[in-house]
């Protein structure tokens, strides 16, 4: 196959997404396009998605911050985990160094608040907490 010439090596700058819409929603979109509010269906859908993502900007930033690795010692106290639980969030612990889960943290609280643990170094936690989180520790 040495005579095959590639026409393009360009990596696409977007991804196609397929969605199913009800007939009424589709009709409403077509009406807005027809009235000139949007150039086409895709324009409306892209605009709607961007607006929705913008409305969650703070949530996205918090999530990115939570997923960032920490360097050094990071201790998770009972109060820390209770605050996470009360906010309805889930931690993804990524530490380079020492991650310590306080001795007064119950296995139930740990399960409610810690989605995953990745430690390059050492993890200190009670045996019962370690057992509870065994499938979340990498």
Chain segment 48-96, per-residue pLDDT in tens: 999 999 999 888 877 767 767 888 899 999 999 999 999 999 999 999 8
Q: Which domain does 40 fall in, by range? A: 8-55
Residue 1 lies in a domain: no
* 16 pLDDT tier (thresholds 50, 70, 90): confident
69 and 51 together in one domain: no
67 and 108 together in one domain: yes
* 19 pLDDT tier (thresholds 50, 70, 90): very high
26 and 38 together in one domain: yes
pLDDT of residue 3: 60
pLDDT of residue 17: 86
Residue 2 lies in a domain: no
128 and 63 together in one domain: yes
CA triple 85-113-65, angle to 5 deg: 90
The pTM of this model reads: 0.56
**Final residue of a domain: which of 40, 55, 70?**
55
């Amino acid at each position: 196959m040495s005579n095959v010439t590639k026409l393009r090596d360009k990596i696409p700058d977007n991804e196609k997404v397929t969605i199913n819409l009800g007939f009424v929603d589709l009709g409403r979109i077509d009406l807005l396009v027809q009235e000139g509010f949007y150039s086409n269906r895709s324009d409306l859908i892209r605009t709607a998605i961007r607006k929705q993502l913008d409305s969650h900007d703070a949530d996205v930033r918090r999530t990115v911050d939570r997923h960032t690795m920490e360097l050094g010692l990071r201790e998770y106290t009972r109060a820390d985990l209770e605050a996470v639980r009360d906010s309805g969030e889930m931690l993804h612990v990524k530490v380079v160094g020492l991650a310590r889960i306080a001795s007064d943290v119950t296995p139930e609280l740990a399960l409610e608040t810690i989605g995953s643990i990745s430690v390059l170094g050492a993890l200190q936690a009670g045996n019962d907490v370690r057992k509870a989180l065994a499938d979340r520790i990498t």
